[in-house]
Structures are given as structure tokens and as C-alpha cells.
Structure 1
């Protein structure tokens, strides 16, 4: 009984202590705690609105120049016969750089190149073609093609020099002129004979009347008749001769026309043969140059990729030199992205691309920024190829200019530039719908 009374007392004592605490007015920190928590929560929500957490598609990236260096390789095996330019020299498209292992005389090859250029520019003008002095050239592997051209030129010149049509035309024109003179003479003689025939006819008519009157004998009349018929035959013979000569003239003129056409056809055939020979020789020259020589494929600056010197032995497919672009657009670059098919539907033209290069840590150098320019429509080995431009060139977000060497890395295509709040709401909406 005593114990129960003690416990009751103890509970009352403790209850009084708790009541004192509960009935005590809280301090200002406790009273403002909820307010501070609410302000902190609002500030956090406010910050999440400004903090962006973009949605990205990651790709492999490679940055190249719009006009990257062109490497030239040897297409034959042998010693270097001729070196035309020193390392780091500026070149124009078509300039000779190296000639390797040829049987040809280099000066003769260069002379042939000049002649071929002139011939191709004037291939339809035979007179200009023949104004070129086609002397013998030692062009090695091109000798059969060049010799065939020389033979054709020689035959054409011989034909032109013989001038068969001109000579025949002159002879036949002379014959026609003589025959026309003969016709003129015959016509004059015919006129005389015709007048004599007319006189003979008058005499015959008189003899006939006199015969009827018995003044002359029948024998006298027959003599007059014979004279008239003789003059008549003579006039007819002149007509026949004139006609025959006219036939001869027409035949000569026909032969002249045929000869003229034949000469025209022969000239046309020679023109075609020479034009074809020029084209064939040009093709042979280009084939030779592509095999035994290296020429500049564009304007720029050459850089040797190996130690190049006279008589050095070169293997086929050896990288010998490169041509670096020196034009105004040499600082224009493009980006090729290898984009996986996952999430590729989100990528659109004009979207921002951040490029992190392997050999330039982005923490130190920043990233290159570009824009999506074009997207391939066909999948290649589970990848799309995307082309991006670099509006700022090779200047990074840290304002650092990087060297255009081995620019390979990763890229992030920003498909949706979401705020942290938006991303959280999207996540809630997605979970709610699910």
C-alpha cells in the first residue's frame, strides 16, 4: 500500500515537470524555425528553376578541316628521277612535284606537256595544229603513242604538200578552158557553114525553077542539090562536135566535183584521226603521269612526309608528301558525329553540340561548341552520321585556340535544355502515368 502511494506521488511529480516544460514559452529560434525551413525550401525550389540539366545524346566525334591535307603516294617502285620543289614550297594545281623511275627524258616530257596543252586548246583548228614543230622527243613509255601521232602528221603534211586535188583541179580547169575555146571555134565555123548552106539552098531553089523551065539540065540541078546537102551535113557535124565537147566538159566537171568531195572527205578523215590521236596521246600522257609522277592536285603548300632526295629508292604506295590548303577558307572546319540509334529521334538540325576532345582535357581547355548541320537518313552499322558546323572555329568555351591536329573525342548533342525543376516534374508525371 505504501509502495502504490509512492508511485502515485512520483507520477504526479513527473507530470508537474512535464507541464512546466510544455507551459514554458519557446525561445525565438524555436519560434522562427519553421519559417527558416520554409524559406530554405523555397530558395531550393528557386535555384532548381535556374539550374539546367539538359537531355543529351552522346556520340563519337571527329573534327576535320573543310579542306584537309591531301596525301600523295607513289604508284610505282624505283628511284626518284627528278625533284621539282623544295619542302614547304607553295604550289599551284598541276605543278610537277616528283618523277619516279621513268625511261623518258624529263625535259622532253615537259615539252610534250606544253604541246599537248596547245593541241587540246586548238584541236578543231588544223592550221594551228600544224603550226607546232613536231620534232622527235624521247618520251620513254609514251614513245609508241607519240610516234603514231608523228606518222599521222607526216602523212597529212605529205598529202597537203602533194595537193593532188589542187593540181588535178588546175589541169581540168585548163582542159575545160581549151574545150570551151574549141566550142567557140566550132560555133564560128558552124555559122559560116550555115550561111554557105543558106546560099546553097537559094541556088538549089533557082536551079529547080530553071529545071522546070528547061533552062538547065537535070545534071546541073543534081550538082546544086549535092552541094546543099554537103553544107547541111557539115552544119550537122559541127553540132555533133559541139555536143560531144559539151559532154566532155560535163564529165570533167563531174570528176572535179568528185575529186573535190574526195579531197574534203580525206581532210575530214585526217582531222578526225589527228583529233583522236591527240586525245589518245593525252590519255596516255595522263596515265603515264599518274604512274610515274606526282603532281599537285590543288593549290597549297607541300610538306614532305619522308626524307626525299635524288635517286632515293621508293616503294609503291609510299606516303611521300602532303599538300596543305593555303586558301582563305583554311580555317573552316566540320565535325563528323557517329550517333547511336538510341534516342536519335530527338536530334534535330540546329541543336547545340558540345565537343570534348581526347587530347585537350575539357576541364582545362573547355569544349568546342557547334550546331547540328545535317543528319544521314540511312543507318550504317547501328549508327547515324551527323554533320555539325563550328561557328567559332577551334576556339573553346574557355577562349582558347587549339591546334587542328588529331581532333577526336566525344560530343553531346543537347536535345532538350531542361531545368532541374522541369526534369523533376517530368519524372513525377512519368511515374504518375505509369
Structure 2
């Protein structure tokens, strides 16, 4: 007998559950449950798993296009071939004279400011001007062009040098055109002329004596013959001999006078040599005093006068004015040379040093300029040394391709302490490549 087919109708279910009224079935299946059971699921529920794997596949595909280069980080410092020059105070005191203007063109040697000292800077500048002009005169060996030194009595530490030069100028005046030395030379030259005239006169006198002596000698010879023949008395012959001896004695006296005159000329020439030596000594002492004063003035200027050490554009390191108090070692000015060239010095450690090569791109984020706001400086490695710079670090030179202009087209104001962090891009790779590197490492093991 065939088995009766089971019924799954609501009535059968109610009968099997021994439920007499319909409201008891409502207690088993609520309206919300019946609504869920009877409703068709939305598409996201029906296809959620497929969508999940599709999104995962899309993300994996994007990893092949998202760039994630290999980067080596290192500290960096901005330097330059012709860096801005600092003007630093070497003493402490007030600014008594300020000649500097912001963004003003200056040349080497321009006075920018003068600090307080125990000397009147105006008199010091006059003293310096006189020394500079005197040096120019001495280069042309024009001693007569040296001007008289003005009266300066507020030179402080330079006062002694001023007194030494003033004393040497007084002695130097002896050598001028109408000075003591020239007058002395003229007097000696006059004495020599008189001595030469006296010598000439003595020479003429000598010639006369020689002529007279020759005649007396002739008379003596004749008388000697007559005395031998007994013509004249011996007494007359003695008188003639005495006359000849007297003439010879006069010749000796004339020669002695000539020797004395020659000795006087030699003495006068020695006086001229002494004058020349004294003149040379005075000139040498003046030059020594001038150099000593110049050295002392240079030392004073280095301490109290701030001058431009470079030709370029002047910039203030801080805000100050005349009568501002300046401390020793304080930075006052910067001189920006014309078209300075900047580059970066990258200090690379041994870690990942083997990845660095010439030509690699470098992005530099400066500590003083936020990366998100200003961007980064871009550069290229142009030199990698063979020997370490310090300990095991290497000093690598990086050329700034756009100078001090960031990739956001914003200029960077240079300072000597401009540092930051460099990102050296050692390999251009995608995110997928970086992920595959990890898998390759695992398989290689």
C-alpha cells in the first residue's frame, strides 16, 4: 500500500502543533520575521562576495601604477661656492655711526658702522686718511709732498702712535727744500769752495816760490864757483845758501797748508755724509712710525669699524640702529654676492651607502620651511667621494637644479645654518614592486 504523502500546509502544521487558534501562530512567527522571510535580498547582499574580491583585485592592479620609490634619508646642509659673507662684531659697545642701508649695494672697504671706543672716531678717520695719503706720496718717493699732520688729541689708544709720527714729521722737516739739512749742505759747499780757492792761491804762491828758488839756486851756483876761485869771500856764499834754504822752507810750509786744506775738504765731505745718513735715518724712522701707526690703526679698525668684506647687496641680520648696544660676536650684516651659486652637502652614513650613485634625484626638506607649505628643493648627486669625511660618514655634493626655489615655486631665503633632511631616490619602483621584493626575499631564502 503506498505511503500517504506528508502535508506541509499551514493547517497541518497547526494541527501538529496542537494549536487551536491562529493568534497562537503569530506568537511563533512575528510580523518582522515573516517580512524578512518573504522579502527578496538586495543586490549587494546577493553579490557582496563577488564585489569584495573585485575590489581586492582592483587594489592589487593599482599597486602596479602607484609609485613607491626606494628612498635613502640623510641630513643635509645648504652651502655655496660664493656664500653670503657675515659681518660680525668683534667688540662690545654702542653703535656711534651707522652708514648701512638695507638692500644697499656695497663694495669692498665701505664703512658700514662704527662701535663705541675710547677714541673719537672722526679724528681716527682723519688720522687714517692722512696715513693713506702719505703712503701714496711715499710710493712716488715724494717726501716734500707729505702734508702737515692736523692736531688730534682724542685718539685713545692711537695717541702714542700719533705723537711718534708728529715727532718724526718735525725731524723730517729738516730735509725739506729750505730745511736745516739743505742749509747745512749749502754752508758746507760754500766752505769747500773757499778751501778750494785757498788751495788755488797757495798753488800760485808755490809756483812763485819755485821760480824764486830757481833763481836763488842759480846765484848760489855762480857764487860757489867764484868762492872756489877766491873771487868772493866765504861769508857771501853762506848768505846765498841761507836764502836758498829759506825758499825751500817756504815750499814746505805751502805744501803743509795744502795738506791741511785737503784735510778740511775731507772733513766737510764727512759732514755731508753724516747729513745724508741722518736724513736717511729720519726717513727710515718716519716709515717705521708710519707702519706702526698703520698696524695699530688696522687693529683698532678691526675691533671698532665694520667694513664690507665683499661686493654685493647688504642685508641686516637683525634690527638695530645708532646707539643700539652690540655684543661681541653678534651677527650684524650679510653681504649677498652677485649671483651666488648654492649646492647641498649630504652626510651619508654606511647604512644603504651602496645604493647611492651619481645622477640620482634628491628632494630636500628644510627644517626652517615646512614641507607641506613650502615644498622641497630638488637636486642631483654630482659627486660621491672615495674616502669618508668623518668617521664612517661620506660628504656627498648635491647640485640644486633650481637653486633655492622649491617645487612649489617658492623662493628660500638663505642663511648659513640652513639644514634639513634629504630623500635620495635610489630606485624608481611601484608599490607592487616593493611588495614583490618581500616575496622575492622569502623565495630566495
Q: TM-score, normalized by length of structure 2? A: 0.69
CA positional deviation for 1:333: 0.8
User: CA RMSD, aligned part only?
Assistant: 4.2
- Once residues 204 and 385 of structure 2 are traced to their aligned partners in structure 1, the CA distance between those partners, rounded to angstroms, is 97
Residue 404 of structure 2 corresponds to 394
Q: Is the CA contact 1:340–1:384 (under 8 Å) kept in the aligned structure 2?
A: yes
Determine whether 1:409 maps to 2:417: no
Q: Is the CA contact 2:377–2:400 (under 8 Å) kept in the aligned structure 1?
A: no
**Closer, same or farther in 2 for the Cα pair 1:143/1:366, shift >3 Å?**
closer
Alignment partner of 1:311: what SS? coil
How far does the alpha carbon of each residue in 1:50-91 deviate from its partner, in whole angstroms, 9 at most, with x for none? 999987654211223444443434333333322223333332
Residue 296 of structure 2 corresponds to 284
Alignment partner of 2:142: what SS? helix
CA positional deviation for 1:108: 2.1
Q: Is the CA contact 1:80–1:100 (under 8 Å) kept in the aligned structure 2?
A: yes
Residue 352 of structure 1 corresponds to 360
**Closer, same or farther in 2 for the Cα pair 1:212/1:256, shift >3 Å?**
closer
Residue 345 of structure 2 corresponds to 336
- Once residues 257 and 345 of structure 1 are traced to their aligned partners in structure 2, the CA distance between those partners, rounded to angstroms, is 86
Give the alignment partner of residue 231 of structure 1, picking from 200, 225, 244. 244
Determine whether 1:207 maps to 2:223: yes
Aligned pairs (5 A) from 1:141-160: 141-158=157-174
Aligned pairs (5 A) from 1:22-171: 57-125=72-140, 127-128=142-143, 130-137=145-152, 138-158=154-174, 165-171=181-187
Unpaired runs of 5+ residues, structure 1, are 1-43
How far does the alpha carbon of each residue in 1:208-231 deviate from its partner, in whole angstroms, 9 at most, with x for none? 4434444x2433xx3144224423
**Closer, same or farther in 2 for the Cα pair 1:242/1:59, shift >3 Å?**
farther
Residue 27 of structure 1 corresponds to none
Aligned residues: 379
**Closer, same or farther in 2 for the Cα pair 1:128/1:176, shift >3 Å?**
closer
- Once residues 133 and 376 of structure 1 are traced to their aligned partners in structure 2, the CA distance between those partners, rounded to angstroms, is 64
Please identify the structure whose Cα radius of gyration is greater: 2
How far does the alpha carbon of each residue in 1:159-213 deviate from its partner, in whole angstroms, 9 at most, with x for none? 6588555445444443443333333333333333333333333333333443444
Q: Is the CA contact 1:102–1:292 (under 8 Å) kept in the aligned structure 2?
A: yes
